[in-house]
Amino acid sequence: MGGQKKKPLSRMEKQKREKAEAKKEKPIKKTLRISIIPQELLNKMLTDIKKSKYVTPTMLAQRYEIKVSSAKKILRKLENDRVVEPRVKTARLTVYVPVKT
């Protein structure tokens, strides 16, 4: 009845080698992110936020290597202090804009 032909052994060995090499080439990069933010870092964030056009929690987390949840808390606190205001608010993302004084 036929069916699908088997691949030659050389082709199967080549595919196996390629899979093994692909696994070796992908290094896992992990970064430690801090959850307790020192006051000096908060002051630096505040000056950078005031200079920027807009800011998102992800931007803060990447720039200062903190957790995204910590960045969200910081931005909510700054919103309550009237330093930033939310411009775009969706379920996943909030874009904040510094208040011009």
**What pLDDT, on the 0 to 100 scale, is given for residue 47?**
94
Q: Give the pLDDT means over successive 10-residue stretches in the chain (101 positions).
A: 78 88 71 81 93 95 92 94 94 93 70
User: For residue 51, is it within any domain?
Assistant: yes
- Residue 83's CB: how many other CB atoms inside 10 A? 16
Q: Which two tokens stand for residue 66?
A: 């903190």
User: For residue 11, is it within any domain?
Assistant: no
**pTM of this structure:** 0.68
**What pLDDT, on the 0 to 100 scale, is given for residue 1?**
63
Host domain of residue 61: 39-98
User: For residue 4, is it within any domain?
Assistant: no
User: For residue 90, is it within any domain?
Assistant: yes
Tell me the sheet residues that pair with 98.
84
User: For residue 74, is it within any domain?
Assistant: yes
User: For residue 14, is it within any domain?
Assistant: no
Q: How many domains does the chain divide into? A: 1
Tell me the sheet residues that pair with 84.
98
CATH number for the domain including 53? 1.10.10.10
User: For residue 31, is it within any domain?
Assistant: no
User: For residue 69, is it within any domain?
Assistant: yes
